């Protein structure tokens, strides 16, 4: 088999249903095990998979199929599918930054260095379309324009979108949290205590002034019965 075929199981389903090829021929063409092809024929494997015609999608021609049907020992050779190029993952091109915005990249790098040290140089380089040497120069303050650099949000500068920036920061924060956990670094923030360990709050003690002085009724009424100075004068 010169080229790996698309949807091998679906192709095997079609060949089982529409050709007289042996299980070995189909297995060799589709990159499967003969027992797996036998399972497809018995209805035990790929039960819900719809067959894909390799002739229609350009992976096999009719002459090749007829030749294999006439000779059980012949092994079919797959053709290069016209859909293969469309399904290949395309490598992303380096981020292009307009010339008018390139002077703003050091300010954006300074913003990352100050506000998000957890973001790696590789992430910053990919996000802003800059080089690691420039990032190191900004961080070490050896950049030729260090005296005039001001940390500015890259979204404000128009170098990146907010959603893309948030995704990079979140990914870096999650990685840092995992690394800290492996190193045994625990956050200093408040933590909840188990219910069994919750201590009862001590009773609130009132001040003497709040409780009020205890009134002695005997003294109060005794003072009202005592003769006043005006009565003595009479």
Q: pLDDT by residue (tens digit) across 39-89?
A: 998 888 877 788 888 888 888 888 989 999 999 999 998 887 555 555 455
Confidence of residue 193 (pLDDT cuts 50, 70, 90): very low
Whether this prediction's pTM lies above 0.75 is answered by no
Cβ-proximal residues to 72 (8 Å cutoff; 6+ apart), any chain: 22, 24, 25
Residue 169 contacts residue 119 (beta carbons within 8 Å): yes
Domain ranges of the chain: 8-87, 99-183
Cβ-proximal residues to 197 (8 Å cutoff; 6+ apart), any chain: none
3-state SS class at 206:
coil
Q: Is 175 a residue whose pLDDT tops 60?
A: yes
Alpha-carbon separation of residue 97 from 129, 151, 153 (angstroms): 7, 18, 16
DSSP 45: S
Q: Is 172 a residue whose pLDDT tops 50?
A: yes
Among residues 5, 4, 14, 6, the alpha carbon closest in space to that of 50 is found at 14
* CA count, 13 A, side-chain hemisphere, 62: 1
Residue 32 contacts residue 12 (beta carbons within 8 Å): yes
Q: What mean pLDDT do residues 137-150 have?
A: 91
Q: Is 121 a residue whose pLDDT tops 90?
A: yes
Q: What angle do CA 131, 137, 142 make, to 5 degrees?
A: 155
Q: What is the pLDDT of residues 150-161, one digit of tens each?
A: 999 998 888 888
Is the Cα torsion angle 110, 111, 113, 114 positive or negative in sign?
positive
């Amino acid at each position: 088999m010169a080229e790996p075929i698309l949807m091998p199981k679906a192709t095997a389903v079609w060949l089982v249903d529409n050709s007289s090829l042996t299980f070995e021929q189909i297995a060799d063409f589709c990159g499967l095990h003969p027992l797996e092809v036998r399972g497809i024929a018995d209805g035990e494997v790929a039960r819900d998979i719809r067959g894909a015609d390799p002739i229609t999608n350009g992976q096999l021609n009719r002459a090749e199929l007829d030749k294999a049907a006439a000779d059980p020992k012949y092994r079919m050779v797959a053709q290069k599918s016209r859909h293969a190029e469309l399904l290949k993952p395309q490598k992303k091109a380096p981020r292009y930054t307009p010339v008018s915005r390139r002077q703003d990249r050091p300010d954006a790098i300074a913003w990352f260095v100050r506000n998000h040290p957890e973001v790696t140089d590789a992430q910053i380089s990919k996000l802003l379309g800059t080089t690691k040497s420039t990032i190191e120069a900004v961080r070490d303050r050896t950049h030729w324009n260090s005296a005039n650099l001001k940390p500015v949000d890259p979204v404000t500068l128009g170098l990146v979108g907010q959603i893309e920036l948030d995704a990079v920061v979140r990914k870096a924060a999650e990685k840092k949290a995992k690394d800290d956990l492996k190193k045994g670094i625990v956050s200093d923030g408040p933590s909840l205590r188990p219910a069994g360990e919750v201590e009862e709050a001590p009773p609130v003690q009132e001040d003497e002034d709040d409780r009020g002085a205890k009134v002695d009724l005997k003294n109060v009424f005794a003072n009202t019965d005592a003769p006043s100075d005006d009565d003595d004068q009479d």
